[in-house]
Amino acid sequence: MDIDYLIIGQGLAGSLLAWELINRNCKVMIIDNGLENASKVAAGLINPVTGQRFVKSIDVDHLLPTAKKHYAELASFFKQSFYIEKPLLRLFKNANEIEAAHKRLEQSDYQPYLGSLNRAANSLEDISAPFGFIEQHNTGYLLTNNLLACLKEFFISKQCYQQATIHYQDIQIQPMLKWKHITPKRIIFCEGYHASSNPWFNWLPFQLAKGEILTVHHSSSHLENILNFGNWVIPLDEHLFRIGATFDRDNLNELSSDLGKVSLIKSLQSIYRPLSEGNIVKHQANIRPCTLDKQPFIGHHPTHTKLSIFNGFGAKGSLQLPWYSQKFADALLKEADIPSPINRHYATHFTA
């Protein structure tokens, strides 16, 4: 079967890139092993201003409008919402954070993202915020599971999805690309953290990070907003909350651990005790495909130029992927520049 693109991986990266290419009339086949992945586990949080110094994410001013527009288009196509916009309350940990937030409030480019600052302790019912908090705007979360399920159904209906595990030794490169009966013009690896064992792309400087998330049911807790206090709480509905996420660069496995659970519950206890006593209905873990320079890995293999990678979206896939999939599709089809190209690492990391 002759096709344009064989996409390996139906996480958020492979899915949004495939959607983009199919909408531009390309013949695409997506292969995925169907297992739980980082995208399904992710909270999908979009939070443009983070860290102790309240720093705006790189390129958020164009990434965010593209993401919102893209998720709205997908919502209208599939007739359900995927991106839930909700204010976020960032609880201050100390006086330095209050000062940093004050400074940002004076900067005009932070205006769309920061709201009122409240220094009064205990002004939030049930929530312990001794240093007060600041309201953040343009925040929300993507219902990644629902979106991936709809896209999978769509790909199946277009006969461009197969559930299978690709073994690298089954990929033929010369004289032409081939996997089983499929002969693509290009293979694009969207394998998330599994790329670290891909023989063609494992030289890229990934810096993987495991994360664990709890889903908690509590019948009487109530939250209007997302909370961020180093960790975060997302109210999914009146009684269901997601709490996350741990960040672990050492234990790179997909196992949910007691250590992860205890650290999340402890952190929750310090700010919102009633919820920490709720019923844990799910405990998930997976691995973020983070990179050393915190930028995605996009582009073609230096010698096998028909093999490409679209990966490295770290902890910000929901914000970054709509823009990067459009730009990578432009690069593939219109010879535009590749965004965040891997050729920045050829000289330092690639050995033929």
CB of 148 to ligand FAD, least distance (A): 8
Q: Does 345 bind ligand FAD (CB under 6 A)?
A: no
Site string for ligand FAD, 94-123 (x = CB under 6 A): ------------------------------
- By C-alpha distance, which of 248, 240, 247, 201 is closest to 222? 240
Binding residue (CB under 6 A) for ligand FAD from 5, 6, 7, 10: 10
The reply on whether position 325 binds ligand FAD by CB under 6 A is no
Angle, helices 317-334 vs 12-23, to 10°: value is 40
**Residue 317 C-beta: closest distance to ligand FAD, Å:** 3
Confirm or reject binding of residue 327 to ligand FAD (CB under 6 A).
no
Q: State the nearest-atom distance from the C-beta of 168 to ligand FAD, in Å.
A: 7
Q: What gap in Å lies between CA 44 and CA 89, rounded to an integer?
A: 17
Which residues sit opposite 88 in a β-bridge? 136, 226
The burial of 184, by beta-carbon neighbours within 10 Å (0-12 exposed, 13-18 middle, 19 or more buried), is given as buried
Which of 302, 138, 283 has the alpha carbon at shortest distance from 215?
Answer: 283
Sign of the Cα pseudo-torsion (13, 14, 16, 17, in order): positive
For residue 187, give the amino acid letter. Answer: I
Please select the residue that binds ligand FAD; options are 194, 218, 300, 301, rule is CB under 6 A.
Answer: 194
The one segment of 48-56, 260-268, 314-322, 336-344 that binds ligand FAD by CB under 6 A: 314-322
Kindly tell me the number of DSSP H helices and DSSP E strands found in the chain: 9, 21
Among 127-135, 259-267, 306-314, 335-343, the segment contacting ligand FAD (CB under 6 A): 306-314
Spatial distance between the Cα atoms of 114 and 131, rounded to a whole number of angstroms: 17
Instruction: Name residue, tokens 């050492």.
Output: 250
Residue 39 near residue 12 (C-beta atoms within 8 A): yes
Q: Considering the complex, state which of residue 211 and residue 278 has its C-beta at the smaller distance from ligand FAD.
A: 211
User: Residue from 18, 21, 28, 32 that binds ligand FAD (CB under 6 A)?
Assistant: 32
Size of the site for ligand FAD (CB under 6 A): 41
Helix, strand and coil percent figures for the chain, each rounded to 5? 35, 30, 40
Q: How far is the CB of 95 from ligand FAD (least distance, A)?
A: 28
User: Pattern of binders to ligand FAD over 272-301, x per CB under 6 A?
Assistant: --------------xxxx------------
Measured in degrees and rounded to the nearest 5, phi and psi for residue 251 equal: -100, 80
CA distance 262 to 243: 12
Which is closer to ligand FAD, CB of 64 or CB of 275? Answer: 64
Among 318, 323, 324, 338, binds ligand FAD (CB under 6 A): 318
Which window, 42-50, 51-59, 78-86, 179-187, contacts ligand FAD (CB under 6 A)? 42-50
Distance CA 250, CA 302 (A): 30
Per CB under 6 A, residues contacting ligand FAD are 8-14, 31-33, 35, 37-39, 41-45, 165-166, 190-192, 194, 211, 213, 244-245, 286-289, 311, 313-319
